[in-house]
Chain A
Amino acid sequence: MSRSAPANGAILECREVGRTFTVGAGLFGAKRPLRAVEDVDLAVERGEVLAIVGESGCGKTTLARMMLGLLAPSRGVILFAGTPIHEIDRNEVARRVQPVFQDPYSSLNPRKTLEDIIALPLVVHRIGTPEERRKRVEQLMELVGLSRRLIYAYPSQLSGGQRQRVAIARALAINPELVVCDEPTSALDVSVQAQILNLLQDLRRELNLTFVIISHNLAVVEHMADRVAVMYLGRVIEQGTTAEIFDRPRHPYTQTLLESALTPDPTRGLPEFALGTDFPNPLDPPSGCAFHPRCPKAMAECSQTRPETLREGGKLVECHLYGTKAREPARLPQSNPIGRSGSGTLSSSTNIA
């Protein structure tokens, strides 16, 4: 297994990280391992936005929980600023990495005022006097665009967008180095989503924050991220800069994923593709390449051997089409899945004979 070179300035590094859960099959069934995350090598550079995309059940959230230090990896190691995260004191991890969760309705304590909610990290880490904390809370509320008069309000009095702002203010209270956002806008309406995305962009610029954004919304990912990692069944199957992933996706899964994203273009119909079977059962993953039963370009060897991980600089792809054995890379279509050309025709370029 090749290992990525230690990246300079990486704030967080995953090295061959895996996590296995043990799942019982019914009352008398044998316990079986479920490999939620496998062999993930990722590095998050300081000041960048790394997005992790994939379908539900692909292991994105498990990976995020490991990055937050909430879950220990079964294999491999997660380095935070060069030190294995499990060797760092829990409180210190919490001080340096903060989460923003998907659902601002369930992630805020309904019986606390905004002041209590936003100041909680300061209290936990014993930072400042009560007056200083209050000042800090006011400052944070201003930063995320919440009116100061809401300081004694309860979450139930706020709209979804306001609640997500509270969650962001709380995450920023102790100046974390890394913020992990798990589906930060999927519970919100589009007009509110735009406000929150703009806020995250502003904060990133002003505070030089590093973000890991987990999302299944490809438009959001394309808009926010510098680099993208695509996960399928626990593995990162493609990784690259946002432009590389969105303009020249290489893995057939990435291509399908981009094709199935519906852009608001009424001149185009529904995307034509056949993914065949459903998302595979992670308890019984397919042999060889996990994507082969659904892959439109599957070859004989795909069901037998797992493709090797090909790395080129920051790019990564795991697919037999690009292995050392693939002699004819020129045959691969220049796919243009979401019609950046602006032509009104339906792209069918990804279906090769």
Chain B
Amino acid sequence: MTVEIDVPAGTLHAVTDVDLHVGRGETLCIVGESGCGKTITALGIMGLLPRRARLEAGRIALEGRDLLALSRGEMNALRGDRMAMIFQDPMTSLNPVYTIGDQMEEVYLRHGKGGRREARERAVFLLEKVGITAAASRLGQYPHQLSGGLRQRVMIAMAVMCEPILIVADEPTTALDVTIQAQILHLLADLQDEYRMALILITHDLGVVARMADRVLVMYAGQVVETGTAEEVFAEPTHPYTQGLLECIPIPGKTVRGAKLGSIPGIVPALIGEYEGCLFRNRCDYAFDDCAGAPVALRALAPGRASRCLLDRTRSLENLKSRTARAVG
């Protein structure tokens, strides 16, 4: 999948050649910093890109059905029913002038799942399921009457109203406190197990990735730079960007308190116009001449494991070891 957005200064390559797949019951985490194209990828999958964005993709398929071939009406019928999205900020994504009951029932009614009474029953059932007490009375409340954690629970309950098989959650816990975050993630994981949903979780928080992901997609500047299972990516990061990210966060018990943290110097390159070579090379400690040549391709290292880096794996691992040794001291 490639997404280009025309901006006054030229063409913005927001997302370039992203390939991803997620199976039933599986959690795929897309991780990266602001502006790396995580959200655009999600919107592309959901068919919710802004109009001036151009999406080019070989195929985006849900249960074998090609989403690119669908009309807008058919996409609308699918969204909310077979696939649903949970947004970062529930305050702005819930409609403030409708009660949460109205909003939850609308999804159900719209997709012709049943009548009002069933919709209400299902809404109450799901609100209880996501741990909201006095669910029936909550249905008459407006979003502003709920706390942030409750609103996010409502969003999740709304997303599973029609038992979708794919949930795309874009930073679902970023606006929440740590205690609430753990509860919400638990809830997502439990619901996913119960309904065997595929979950695409977008986050910048490596802690969330480590605890939730089956597989990880690390994105940088609109490209996938590394993929693998969570264990592989955290234990043996192969791309210097992933290595840098992991060194940036103080890890209790590993990082010496008060010791200097690793950091990635420089800033993300502008993605407007044409570029060549590796997009990370200006910030990379290991960059060499070849990095400035042709665009670097994603190289498969093992089944399900790939890295967009010219360094061979053994070499980068040695580097990593010496660097961690220094960092930990």
Interface size class of B (residues with CB under 8 A): 35 or more
Q: How many residues from A make CB contacts under 8 Å with B?
A: 48
Give the nearest-CB partner of A277 in chain B.
B133
For A277, list chain B residues within 8 Å (CB).
133
Stretch at the interface among B13-21, B115-123, B209-217, B309-317: B209-217
**B255 near A: Cβ within 8 Å?**
yes
CA distance in complex: A189, B245 (Å)? 10
Least CB distance from B244 to A in Å reads 7
**B231 near A: Cβ within 8 Å?**
yes
CA distance in complex: A223, B259 (Å)? 8
Q: Is the pair A262, B181 in contact by a Cβ cutoff of 8 Å?
A: yes
Interface residue from B33, B147, B189 paired with A279 (Cβ < 8 Å): B147
**B207 near A: Cβ within 8 Å?**
yes
**A153 near B: Cβ within 8 Å?**
no
**B300 near A: Cβ within 8 Å?**
no
Instruction: Identify which of residues 263-287 in chain B touch chain A, using a CB-to-CB cut-off of 8 Å.
Output: 263-264, 267
Q: Is the pair A270, B261 in contact by a Cβ cutoff of 8 Å?
A: no
For B202, list chain A residues within 8 Å (CB).
none
Q: Is the pair A219, B213 in contact by a Cβ cutoff of 8 Å?
A: no
CA distance in complex: A70, B66 (Å)? 59
Known: A218-B178, A219-B251, A342-B253. A263 touches B210 (CB 8 A): yes
Least CB distance from A136 to B in Å reads 26
Least CB distance from B86 to A in Å reads 17
For B182, list chain A residues within 8 Å (CB).
259-260, 262, 270-271, 273
Give the nearest-CB partner of B214 in chain A.
A266
Give the nearest-CB partner of B177 in chain A.
A55
> Contact flags (1/0) for A182-199 with B, using CB distance below 8 Å?
000000011101110110
Give the nearest-CB partner of B148 in chain A.
A56
**B304 near A: Cβ within 8 Å?**
no
Give the tally of cross-chain contacts (CB within 8 A): 138
> Contact flags (1/0) for A280-311 with B, using CB distance below 8 Å?
00000000000000000000000000000000
Give the nearest-CB partner of A268 in chain B.
B211
**B248 near A: Cβ within 8 Å?**
yes
**A201 near B: Cβ within 8 Å?**
yes
> Contact flags (1/0) for B162-202 with A, using CB distance below 8 Å?
00000000000000011111110110010000000000000
**A72 near B: Cβ within 8 Å?**
no
**A206 near B: Cβ within 8 Å?**
no
Known: A194-B262, A340-B253. A262 touches B147 (CB 8 A): no
**B30 near A: Cβ within 8 Å?**
no
Looking at B147, B148, B211, B235, which has the most chain A CB atoms within 10 Å of its CB? B211
For B133, list chain A residues within 8 Å (CB).
277
Looking at B178, B244, B246, which has the most chain A CB atoms within 10 Å of its CB? B178
Q: Is the pair A266, B248 in contact by a Cβ cutoff of 8 Å?
A: no
Q: Is the pair B248, A190 in contact by a Cβ cutoff of 8 Å?
A: yes
Give the nearest-CB partner of B216 in chain A.
A266
Known: A262-B207, A264-B207. A219 touches B179 (CB 8 A): no
For B245, list chain A residues within 8 Å (CB).
190-191
CA distance in complex: A345, B216 (Å)? 22
Q: Is the pair A263, B251 in contact by a Cβ cutoff of 8 Å?
A: yes
For B260, list chain A residues within 8 Å (CB).
198, 201
Q: Is the pair B206, A194 in contact by a Cβ cutoff of 8 Å?
A: no
CA distance in complex: A278, B151 (Å)? 12
CA distance in complex: A278, B145 (Å)? 14
**B95 near A: Cβ within 8 Å?**
no
Q: Is the pair B33, A190 in contact by a Cβ cutoff of 8 Å?
A: yes
Interface residue from B149, B150, B177, B248 paired with A191 (Cβ < 8 Å): B248
Interface residue from A159, A224, A259, A264 paired with B267 (Cβ < 8 Å): A159
For A19, list chain B residues within 8 Å (CB).
none
Least CB distance from B247 to A in Å reads 8
> Contact flags (1/0) for A249-280 with B, using CB distance below 8 Å?
00000001101111111111111010101110
Looking at A190, A193, A197, which has the most chain B CB atoms within 10 Å of its CB? A190
Q: Is the pair A223, B255 in contact by a Cβ cutoff of 8 Å?
A: yes
Q: Is the pair B212, A270 in contact by a Cβ cutoff of 8 Å?
A: yes
For A242, list chain B residues within 8 Å (CB).
257
> Contact flags (1/0) for B235-257 with A, using CB distance below 8 Å?
10000000011111111110101
**A146 near B: Cβ within 8 Å?**
no
For A223, list chain B residues within 8 Å (CB).
250, 255, 257-258, 261
For A339, list chain B residues within 8 Å (CB).
253
For A246, list chain B residues within 8 Å (CB).
252
Give the nearest-CB partner of A258 in chain B.
B252
Interface residue from B149, B177, B185, B249 paired with A194 (Cβ < 8 Å): B249
**A144 near B: Cβ within 8 Å?**
no
For B34, list chain A residues within 8 Å (CB).
160, 189
**B204 near A: Cβ within 8 Å?**
yes
Instruction: Identify which of residues 111-154 in chain A touch chain B, using a CB-to-CB cut-off of 8 Å.
Output: none
7 tightest Cβ-Cβ pairs between the two chains A and B: A262-B207, A223-B250, A194-B248, A266-B230, A340-B253, A260-B182, A189-B33
Q: Which residues of A contact B (CB under 8 A)?
A: 55-56, 159-161, 189-191, 193-195, 197-198, 201, 216, 218-220, 222-224, 242-243, 246, 256-257, 259-271, 273, 275, 277-279, 338-340, 342
Q: List 12 A-B contacts (CB under 8 A).
A: A55-B178, A193-B248, A219-B251, A242-B257, A262-B208, A264-B251, A266-B211, A266-B230, A268-B210, A275-B179, A277-B133, A279-B149
